[in-house]
Amino acid sequence: MLLLAAATETGLLTQLEQALLPPLASACLPLASSAAVRRRLLLTLLFLGAIGLQRTWDLRGYAADGLALLTGRMRAYGYRYTEAFLSQVARADGAERFTDALAWWTTHLWHPIGETEEAEHPYALTCYVDGHRKPVYIDVLLPRGLIGRLDVVLGCRALLLLHDEQGHPLFVTTHRGDQHLTTGAPAFLARYEQHAAHRQLTRMIVDREGMTTEFLASLHAEGRSVVTILQTNQYRDLSSFSDVGTFVPLSTNTHGQVIREVASARITLPREDHPDAPLHLQVALIRDLRRLVPVQPDPEEAELPPRWDTDLPPDERTWWCEGWQATAAPAKETTAKLIPIVTIEETEPIDAVELAQTYIHRWPAQENVIKDYFRPLGLDTNHGFAKVTVENSEVAKRRTHLEQRLTRLKQWAQSAGKHEAQASRRQERLRKTFTSRSKELYQELWAYQCTLEEQEVVDYVLRREIKERKAVADAELEQLRVKEWRAYGRCNAEFRKQERYCKEQREVLHALEEMKAQEKTMYDLDHRKDQVMTVCKVAVANLAMWVRDHYFPPSYAQATWKRLLPFFQLAGTITQDAQTVRVELRPFNDRALNRDLLVLCERVNQASPRLPDGRRLSFTIRSSCCILAEQRMGKIP
pLDDT digits (tens, 9 = 90+) for 138-163: 889 999 988 888 889 999 999 999 99
- pLDDT of 301 above 80: no
Greater pLDDT, 204 or 1: 204
- pLDDT of 492 above 90: yes
- pLDDT of 118 above 60: no
Q: How confident is the model at residue 624 (pLDDT cuts 50, 70, 90)?
A: low
- pLDDT of 589 above 70: yes
Give 500's DSSP letter.
H
- Rounded CA-CA distance 70/543 in Å is 14
Mean pLDDT for the stretch of residues 442-449: 87
pLDDT digits (tens, 9 = 90+) for 411-420: 999 999 999 9
Residue 581: per-residue pLDDT: 84
Share of the chain above pLDDT 90, in %: 33
Q: What is the pTM of this model?
A: 0.82
Beta strands in 9-167 (DSSP E): 124-135, 144-147, 152-164
Q: How confident is the model at residue 507 (pLDDT cuts 50, 70, 90)?
A: very high
pLDDT digits (tens, 9 = 90+) for 23-33: 555 555 666 66
Residue 292: per-residue pLDDT: 87
Kindly tell me the number of DSSP H helices and DSSP E strands found in the chain. Answer: 19, 15
- pLDDT of 92 above 90: no
Residue 98: per-residue pLDDT: 92
341 close to 355: Cβ distance less than 8 angstroms: yes
Strands 200-205 and 124-135: parallel
Mean pLDDT of the chain: 86
Residue 560: per-residue pLDDT: 92
* DSSP string across 354-397: HHHHHHHTHIIIIIHHIIIIITTTTTT------EEEE--HHHHH
Residue 494: per-residue pLDDT: 93
3-state SS assignment for residue 228:
strand
- pLDDT of 232 above 60: yes
pLDDT digits (tens, 9 = 90+) for 341-356: 999 867 677 888 999 9
- Rounded CA-CA distance 426/491 in Å is 9
Q: How confident is the model at residue 425 (pLDDT cuts 50, 70, 90)?
A: very high
Residue 629: per-residue pLDDT: 45
Residues β-bridged to residue 294: 334
Q: Where are the domains positioned within the chain?
A: 111-296+332-390, 393-519, 570-637
Residue 566 CB neighbour total at 10 angstroms: 12
Instruction: Kindly indicate whether the domain formed by 111-296+332-390 is annotated with CATH number 3.90.350.10.
Output: yes
Mean pLDDT for the stretch of residues 420-434: 91
- Rounded CA-CA distance 143/95 in Å is 21
- pLDDT of 597 above 50: yes
Q: How confident is the model at residue 424 (pLDDT cuts 50, 70, 90)?
A: very high
- Rounded CA-CA distance 174/95 in Å is 10
Phi, psi of 581 (to 5 degrees): -120, 115
Strands 248-252 and 279-294: unpaired
Q: How confident is the model at residue 454 (pLDDT cuts 50, 70, 90)?
A: confident
125 close to 65: Cβ distance less than 8 angstroms: no
Share of the chain above pLDDT 70, in %: 92
Residue 405: per-residue pLDDT: 94
* Gyration radius (Cα) of the chain, Å: 39
352-355 long-range CB contacts below 8 Å, 24 or more apart? 352/245, 352/248, 352/262, 352/263, 352/264, 352/284, 352/285, 353/248, 353/250, 353/262, 353/284, 355/227, 355/282, 355/284
Mean pLDDT for the stretch of residues 457-473: 86
Residue 116 CB neighbour total at 10 angstroms: 15
Give 75's DSSP letter.
S
- pLDDT of 593 above 60: yes
246 close to 263: Cβ distance less than 8 angstroms: yes
- Rounded CA-CA distance 261/339 in Å is 10
Distance of CA 334 to the CA centre of its chain: 30
Residue 412: per-residue pLDDT: 94
- Rounded CA-CA distance 355/342 in Å is 8
- pLDDT of 633 above 60: no
Mean pLDDT for the stretch of residues 72-87: 88
pLDDT digits (tens, 9 = 90+) for 314-370: 888 888 888 888 888 888 888 889 999 999 867 677 888 999 999 999 998 899 999
